[in-house]
Chains A and B, each alone.
Chain A
Amino acid sequence: MTALVTIEGLSHSFGPVQVLDAVSLAIQPGSYTVLLGPSGSGKTTLLSILGGFLRPTAGRVLIKGKDCTLMAPAKRPTATVFQDYALFPHMSVGSNVAFGLRMKGVAKAERLAKARDMLRIVGLDHAFDQRPHQLSGGQRQRVALARALVVEPAVLLLDEPLGALDLQLRRQMQDELKAIQKRVGTAFVHVTHDQEEAMALADHVVVMNRGRIEDQGPAERVYGRPATRFAATFMGESTIIPGQVDAEGRIATALGVFQAPGLTPGSAACIAIRPEHVHIGPAIPAIVTDVVYQGSFKRVTATPTGAPDIRLLARLPAGAPVRDGAEVSLRFDPAEIIILKD
């Protein structure tokens, strides 16, 4: 499969600050790629370079095999959905959506018809004649999406598109975004710092930190087998326990010795345990230090009596008999632990 977008050795600096450091990435046709990272990780800079709003200090961007690194936004086959939507306040919703076609010289009747069709796809054809300020946040978001999709871009770029919405609307728009992407088949590149959003949407998650890609792949793989310690902590919660690799290639930690194939004997490494892999059972005696009731489960923090420095995080059934300060016995399956090089 040839990649739709190929990013080769992209670096960018704002003055003395390097925000992207030799990033390479391939985006497949029809895929939903999510760039996930904390603020300052370079994800928005990467998106701006893809959209043509920034010229990278070094590296190349190829779209459909063509070098677009220095191509103006107007000329490249990308369209952007901005975080603040950036709708044209003086135009009707219909004219907003038809704007890109107008710039391409499409005749008025045809472009209005296409705009109406695209608004129907996002469920807003009734708002055709309204002004953007008459719409709610979620509706504006959909207009911005329709406006970008109607020009049939090869890649649609979304800059924290759900950031301005409240939580409930956000989860609802998430499902809609995914459905719309499947329906139109365009490749989406979506920037967010919300790992739940990333897991819900992405075919391909790219975890970024300090201008580098920490890990990338299907969400399940990145969550289940993160490549780095940063990826493990940013994609979901976990308990990180430091250890030492012994001569037989096993890692010795305060909670036991585990098989760690492929690690250099004598080096330092870590294991990460996801809270849902920790259960009640006879293995590790611990004292419960915190219980947070979350409705469908209890989020429990416990300190193993044998290793008082560790805060073991567990996701226990809502009915589990745990109380703050009480003794509890926990276990986890060694097959489910994540080995991380330090």
Chain B
Amino acid sequence: MMARIASTVYAAAIYGFIFLPVAVLVLFSFQGTLFPIPPFNGPSLRWYHAVLGDARLTAGLTNSLVVAIVTSAIATILGFLAAWGFARFHLPASALLRGLITLPLTVSYLIIGMGLLIFFNWIGLPKSLMAAGIGHVVINLPLCFAIIYSQMGDHQANIERAARDLGAQEWQVLALVTAPILWPALFASFFLSMTFSWDEFVIAFLLTRFDTTLPVEIWNLLRAGLNPKTNAVGSLVFGISIVLAIVFELVAFRKRPQ
């Protein structure tokens, strides 16, 4: 009996530890007064109005969405092509090259961001959304590659061969056969990339200047001190992340007829 109570308390403590900060953040985004501190006197949508009326924050939101969608699409396409190359052709030192392509997963974003900053400086590419976008492709490509490569079986190789045999050009094989068969993996990598790009801060902070992404705008806002507006924008970011994560789960783990 005691053990049962103890384990329940322990579980509650763990989940509280993980989710209490988020719950507090979301709760005080509905605060009616100027400070996000108890007592709670909402609910009020005042701060959400303030966020949506703030040109910098809405621009950051749009920038973040554009960067997330574009870089995830690029990372998914590049990851797909790389996976196809490794799965279907005999390449010299294939295992080593596969290791190298997934290596960025283990390197910290700070190091990748600094490396890109130095490199872009050297080739004369200014700090911009595009620079940050390239950074996001760099961090998400290995992930997309790993997900898609794991789903490319030998059985599909024969299906591709059949398409070629029936007169399909190589691009038609990819577009009409390989990609449609792999769409759950493609979809999953796209949404996972979006989740990572959406709330990525370090690389965006290092590589953007005037136009920037939402996490960097939030950081700017936080420098001026806490107010419920930061809670409101934080809740928006959290909400969109949750939606992306749910879509990813549905696509990646849904049982499909085979």
Instruction: Check B158–A103 contact: CB distance below 8 A.
Output: no
B42 to chain A, nearest CB (A): 49
Instruction: Check B165–A80 contact: CB distance below 8 A.
Output: yes
Interface residues of B in 126-172 (CB under 8 A from A): 155, 158-159, 161-169, 172
Given A53-B161, A82-B162, is A89 in contact with B167 using a C-beta cutoff of 8 Å? no
Contact of A100 among B166, B177, B183 (CB under 8 A): B166
A38 interfacial contact with B, CB 8 Å? no
A163 to chain B, nearest CB (A): 14
A239 to chain B, nearest CB (A): 42
B180 interfacial contact with A, CB 8 Å? yes
A88 interfacial contact with B, CB 8 Å? yes
Nearest B residue to A159 via CB reads B158
Report chain B residues within 8 Å CB of A151.
166-167
CA distance A75 to B168 in the complex (A): 9
Interface size on A, residues (CB 8 A): 26
Nearest A residue to B165 via CB reads A73
Instruction: Check A74–B159 contact: CB distance below 8 A.
Output: no
B73 to chain A, nearest CB (A): 21
Contact of B167 among A51, A80, A82, A103 (CB under 8 A): A103
A183 interfacial contact with B, CB 8 Å? no
Report chain A residues within 8 Å CB of B92.
none
CA distance A159 to B161 in the complex (A): 13
CA distance A214 to B123 in the complex (A): 67
Instruction: Check B158–A74 contact: CB distance below 8 A.
Output: no
A79 interfacial contact with B, CB 8 Å? yes
B258 interfacial contact with A, CB 8 Å? yes
Report chain A residues within 8 Å CB of B180.
90
B101 interfacial contact with A, CB 8 Å? no
A164 to chain B, nearest CB (A): 13
Most chain A beta-carbon neighbours within 10 Å: one of B159, B169, B258: B159
CA distance A82 to B183 in the complex (A): 24
B39 interfacial contact with A, CB 8 Å? no
Report chain B residues within 8 Å CB of A73.
161, 164-165
Main secondary structure of the interface of A (DSSP, over half): loop
CA distance A86 to B166 in the complex (A): 12
B187 to chain A, nearest CB (A): 13
Report chain A residues within 8 Å CB of B155.
84, 86
Interface size on B, residues (CB 8 A): 20
Instruction: Check A99–B166 contact: CB distance below 8 A.
Output: yes
Instruction: Check B161–A74 contact: CB distance below 8 A.
Output: no
Report chain A residues within 8 Å CB of B183.
90
Instruction: Check A103–B161 contact: CB distance below 8 A.
Output: no
Nearest B residue to A147 via CB reads B166
Instruction: Check B257–A72 contact: CB distance below 8 A.
Output: no
Report chain B residues within 8 Å CB of A103.
163, 166-169, 172
CA distance A147 to B159 in the complex (A): 13
Number of A-B pairs whose CB atoms are under 8 Å? 66
Main secondary structure of the interface of B (DSSP, over half): helix
CA distance A102 to B142 in the complex (A): 35
B78 interfacial contact with A, CB 8 Å? no
Nearest A residue to B181 via CB reads A90
CA distance A133 to B172 in the complex (A): 23
Instruction: Check A89–B166 contact: CB distance below 8 A.
Output: no
CA distance A67 to B159 in the complex (A): 26
Instruction: Check A74–B164 contact: CB distance below 8 A.
Output: yes
Instruction: Check B181–A99 contact: CB distance below 8 A.
Output: no
Instruction: Check A133–B159 contact: CB distance below 8 A.
Output: no
Instruction: Check A80–B169 contact: CB distance below 8 A.
Output: no
Nearest B residue to A100 via CB reads B166
Instruction: Check B165–A88 contact: CB distance below 8 A.
Output: no
B46 to chain A, nearest CB (A): 50
Nearest A residue to B258 via CB reads A133
Report chain A residues within 8 Å CB of B159.
86-89
Chain A 63-77 interface mask (CB, 8 Å, partner B; 1/0): 000000000111100
Instruction: Check A104–B158 contact: CB distance below 8 A.
Output: no
Instruction: Check A133–B257 contact: CB distance below 8 A.
Output: yes
CA distance A18 to B119 in the complex (A): 51
Contact of A72 among B158, B163, B164, B176 (CB under 8 A): B164
Instruction: Check A84–B177 contact: CB distance below 8 A.
Output: no
CA distance A131 to B166 in the complex (A): 19
CA distance A74 to B162 in the complex (A): 9
Which A positions have Cβ atoms within 8 angstroms of B?
51-53, 72-75, 78-80, 82, 84, 86-90, 99-100, 103-104, 131, 133, 147-148, 151
- Can you list 23 A-B contacts with CB-CB less than 8 angstroms, sorted by A residue number? A51-B165, A53-B161, A73-B161, A73-B164, A74-B169, A75-B167, A79-B165, A79-B166, A80-B165, A82-B162, A86-B155, A88-B159, A88-B162, A89-B159, A89-B181, A89-B258, A90-B180, A100-B166, A103-B163, A103-B166, A103-B168, A104-B167, A148-B165
Additional pairs, 14, CB under 8 Å, beyond known A74-B167, A78-B165, A133-B257: A51-B165, A53-B165, A74-B166, A75-B167, A79-B165, A80-B161, A82-B162, A86-B155, A86-B158, A86-B162, A88-B163, A89-B181, A147-B162, A147-B166
Q: Which 4 pairs, one residue from A and one from B, show the smallest C-beta to C-beta distance?
A: A100-B166, A103-B167, A86-B162, A86-B158
